[in-house]
Amino acid sequence: MDKVAARQEAGRLRAEINRHNRLYYVEARPVISDYEFDRLLERLIAIEREHPDLVTPDSPSQRVGGEVTKVFPVVAHREPMLSLANTYSLEEVADFCRRVEKLVEAEGGRDPEFVAELKFDGVAVSLLYRDGVLVRGATRGDGRQGDDITANLRTIPSIPLRIEAPGGPLFGAPSGEVEVRGEVFMRKEDFGKLNDARPEEDRFANPRNATAGTLKLQDSSEVARRRMSFVAYFLTGGDDGRTPHLHRLRQLEVMGFATGGNYRLCKGADEIASFIGEWSEKRWRLPYETDGVVLKLNDTTLWDRIGATAKSPRWAIAYKYPAQQAKTVLRDVVFQVGRLGTITPVAELEPVRLAGSTVSRSTLHNFDEIGRLGVRIGDRVMIEKSGEVIPKVVGVVLDERPEAAVAIRVPESCPECGAALVRPEGEVGFYCPDEEGCPAQKRGRILHFASRNAMDIQNLGESLVAQLVDRGLVGDPGDLYRLEKPQVEGLERMGAKSAQNLLDSLDESRKRGYDRLLYALGIRHVGQATARELAHAYPSLEQLRQAGAEELAAVPDIGPVVAASIRDFFTRGWVLTMLDKLRDAGLPLKAGGAKELVNRNFEGLSVIFTGGLERHDRQRASELVLERGGRVVTSVSKKTSIVVAGSEAGSKLDKALKLGVRVIDEEEFEKML
């Protein structure tokens, strides 16, 4: 492509990609599939690779990251980033209204209006646009200065790299400096996916921690993979400084920012109280976490005159929803043994209703936590659910402690295998040291190996694994592939059919890629992303086994702790034996075996194409299914999952309809991709 055509095509692709980004992330109504979107981006990147001088700083290709920042430079904020005074009481909110009314009256005004907004539970950042282009993004830091994390923030699709709509209703063209403040957060769904892909021992407690941790990463391409979002709630610059806050929010939307849209102009404490009341329930249905309501005086010309205390402005306040609590009895504490030997105390509670579900168990995390709570068995305890997290014990009702309450003792030996527990220096946890013999660790390792993001072995649940281990049929994941049908048939609740299903699933799992296997091995601190990096750097397990700690630590995403853990893993005798078994079973101990899937939307499904397809030829359509974990078959039977019927489909369609097989058209197929 010549330069002129390339420039034109790049411009067209950028506009198209920006439009789809906005539809997806800001307006939440995508009109093309992820696949189509990726194709647009790939084309743009290809053109820019061919003509590097055409790359612009606001090109969507610049969102994929790649920049590695060793130390974030510290930058001063134009205006201090204040935080807000918090309250949990509606009365204090009413006091706030009265206070502001007085201050406003002193300035010659009356009946002030407030904008009520949701309080997003994430991390506050400031974005600076110069002549419409994003030039700097920073954390709040101590309020006066923060870290320059521009490279990381650029990867967030809902942060416009360029303010798109100059000359909105009130603001002029975005010349000069415009500052936008808002919250970076992770949607519940994106948080779930991120955590699922991480090893158990490294999971984030909640979306906010995940967001804060991600913003601090040095490698912006990892940040890009983690899917974060941004909502804007504050705009300065670009106008005469008199635009009311409500209009600034609208202006932010015109500029291409998401605001969440759930704000309202309120007059007086009663209207504010009803907004708070309305959202106390509705907020649970939002795709992200909120923890309260923020109230801001709408008339921004009064902000400076009313002023601020050292920490927070007098013209705004945050009302926080109280966490949902319930009182119940701690019946007992049991000790669970994880796949890495960690002992976790778990509270068994008298079942109680809390925030829409019945709670009868809750983790006590570790023994320090028990000490901190001072809790005994038999105590009345308070449990709490905040955000989406699982309930936790937050306190003891000491007045109601029964005489018979007994202290919780740290077990001396493993409840599963009896080995004496150890507590490594400097750690809060106790461990069962018998990696090789402890049945709980064996079960945990096998279940991890079989889990969805690892080898995805269907039909291998907890009770089956427990039986296999108890009977000595399976001691490590390598043994799974040596199982024979009669052995499985003899187990409880298993018959010929379910035994065959298990063996088929095991067979199927041999096709997973090398990087999946690396993750499935369950090396401490090696999650999916790390496993992928390792697979890339060491295309065979043998090479990985021989890598030194220093060499490992040079791989992106791998620090000294992970490197040491990998080294340690390969020194274990049982590990080497297990690897031999896996090799014998024909599992991919090197790269290039099975291909990485695009996604798993067709996993476990058999698909038939019939009739004429318009968007893809048959060959490509089949590839699309294979790349998504499905199979393509040629004759219809009761076992067929889906028939994709194109124009003038004939006998196969008739047969599918007769057998009650699901039939879809090309459009629906496209959606499924």
CB 633 within 8 A of CB 608: yes
Q: Look up residue 106 and give its two tokens.
A: 């002193």
Q: Where are the beta strands (DSSP E) in 309-389?
A: 316-320, 324-337, 343-354, 357-363, 376-377, 380-385
CB 74 within 8 A of CB 142: no
Which one of the spans 81-89, 471-479, 630-638, 650-658 is the region binding ligand IVH (CB under 6 A)?
81-89
Of positions 117, 379, 384, 476, contacts ligand IVH by CB under 6 A: 117
- Give the per-residue SS3 of 548-571: CHHHHHCCCCCCHHHHHHHHHHCC
* Selected binder of ligand IVH within 128, 318, 375, 460 (CB under 6 A): 318
β-pairing verdict for 177-185 and 229-236: antiparallel
- Give catalytic residue positions: 119
Q: Toward ligand IVH, which CB reaches closer, 118 or 381?
A: 118
Rounded to an integer, what distance in angstroms lies between the CA atom of residue 159 and that of residue 660? 47
CA neighbor of 459 nearest in space, from 441, 442, 437, 483 = 483
Tokens of 116: 């009520």
If the CB atoms of residues 260 and 345 are measured against ligand IVH, the closer one turns out to be 260
Measured from the CB atom, the residue of 233 and 449 that comes closer to ligand IVH is 233
Count residues near ligand IVH (CB under 6 A).
Answer: 14
Type of residue numbered 413: S
Would you say 47 or 184 has its CB closer to ligand IVH?
A: 184
Take residue 606 and report the two structure tokens written for it.
């058999």
CB of 378 to ligand IVH, least distance (A): 39
**Selection from 144, 154, 149 nearest residue 213 by Cα:** 149
Of 103, 116, 124, 266, the residue at the interface with ligand IVH (CB under 6 A) is: 124
Q: What are phi and psi of 192, to 5 degrees?
A: -60, -45
Nearer to ligand IVH, 312 or 363 (CB): 312
Closer residue to ligand IVH (CB): 198 or 247: 247
Minimum CB separation of residue 182 from ligand IVH in Å reads 8
- Does 233 help bind ligand IVH (rule: CB under 6 A)? yes
Give the binding range for ligand IVH (CB under 6 A) out of 30-38, 117-125, 216-224, 629-637.
117-125
Single out the segment in contact with ligand IVH by CB under 6 A; choices: 62-70, 80-88, 490-498, 599-607.
80-88
| Number of Cβ within a 10 Å radius of residue 573 | 9
Choose among 128, 129, 131: nearest CA to 139: 128
What is the nearest approach in angstroms of ligand IVH to the Cβ of residue 294? 4
Closer to ligand IVH at the Cβ: 118 or 364? 118
Q: Which stretch binds ligand IVH (CB under 6 A): 116-124, 150-158, 246-254, 524-532?
A: 116-124
316 contacts ligand IVH (rule: CB under 6 A) = yes
Residue 119 engages ligand IVH in binding (rule: CB under 6 A): yes
- DSSP collapsed to 3 states, 48-83: HHHCHHHCCCCCHHHHCCCCECCCCCEEECCCCCCC
| CB 115 to ligand IVH: min, Å | 9
What is the four-CA torsion angle of 284, 286, 287, 289, rounded to 10 degrees?
A: -60
Interacting residue with ligand IVH among 160, 237, 313, 341 (CB under 6 A): 313
Read off the amino acid at residue 57: P
CA distance 516 to 212: 27
Query: In the complex with ligand IVH, which residue's Cβ is closer, 290 or 565?
Result: 290
Q: Is 97 helix (H, G, I), strand (E, B) or coil?
A: helix
**Closest of 382, 384, 401, 390 to residue 327, by C-alpha:** 382
Q: Are the C-beta atoms of residues 390 and 357 closer than 8 Å to each other?
A: no
Q: Does 289 bind ligand IVH (CB under 6 A)?
A: no
Q: Select the span of 112-120, 160-168, 336-344, 375-383 touching ligand IVH (CB under 6 A).
A: 112-120
Alpha-carbon distance 662 to 641, whole Å?
6
Closest residue to bound ligand IVH by CB: 124
Q: Among 165, 166, 142, 161, which Cα is nearest to 150's?
A: 161
Decide if residue 84 touches ligand IVH (CB under 6 A).
Answer: yes
What length does the chain have?
A: 673
Nearer to ligand IVH, 56 or 83 (CB): 83
Classify residue 387 as left (phi > 0), alpha (psi -120 to 50) or beta: left
To the nearest whole angstrom, how small is the minimum distance from the Cβ of residue 144 to ligand IVH? Answer: 14
Q: Do 602 and 630 meet the contact criterion of CB atoms below 8 Å apart?
A: yes
Kindly indicate which of the ranges 99-107, 165-173, 312-320, 419-427 contains the residues binding ligand IVH, using the contact rule CB under 6 A.
312-320
Task: For residues 181 and 655, give the distance between their C-alpha atoms in angstroms, rounded to a whole number.
Answer: 59
CB of 183 to ligand IVH, least distance (A): 5
Q: Which is nearer to ligand IVH, 183 or 379 (CB)?
A: 183
Minimal distance, residue 82 CB to ligand IVH, in Å: 4
- Cβ 245 to ligand IVH shortest distance, Å: 10
For the bound state, the minimum distance from the C-beta of residue 95 to ligand IVH, rounded and expressed in Å, comes to: 18
169-188 binders of ligand IVH (CB under 6 A): 183
Our finding on whether 234 is near ligand IVH (CB under 6 A) is yes
Largest CA distance in the chain: 89
Bridge partners of residue 148, in order along the sequence: 138
Binding residue (CB under 6 A) for ligand IVH from 128, 266, 294, 579: 294
141 binds ligand IVH (CB under 6 A): no
Q: Is 83 in the site for ligand IVH (CB under 6 A)?
A: yes
Minimum CB–partner distance for residue 124 and ligand IVH (Å): 3
Sheet containing 290-297, strands listed edge to edge, beginning at the edge strand earlier in sequence = 86-87, 316-320, 290-297, 113-120, 264-267
Residue 257 as a binder of ligand IVH (CB under 6 A): the answer is no
Say which amino acid occupies 320: K
Minimal distance in Å, beta carbon 169 to ligand IVH?
22
Q: State which residue, 103 or 318, has the beta carbon closest to ligand IVH.
A: 318
Burial of 89 by CB count in 10 Å (0-12 exposed, 13-18 middle, 19+ buried)? exposed
For position 120 contacting ligand IVH by CB under 6 A, the verdict is yes
Strand partners, 120: 290
Choose the stretch contacting ligand IVH; rule: CB under 6 A; options: 76-84, 466-474, 527-535, 564-572. Answer: 76-84
Residues that bind ligand IVH (CB under 6 A): 82-84, 117, 119-120, 124, 183, 233-234, 294, 313, 316, 318
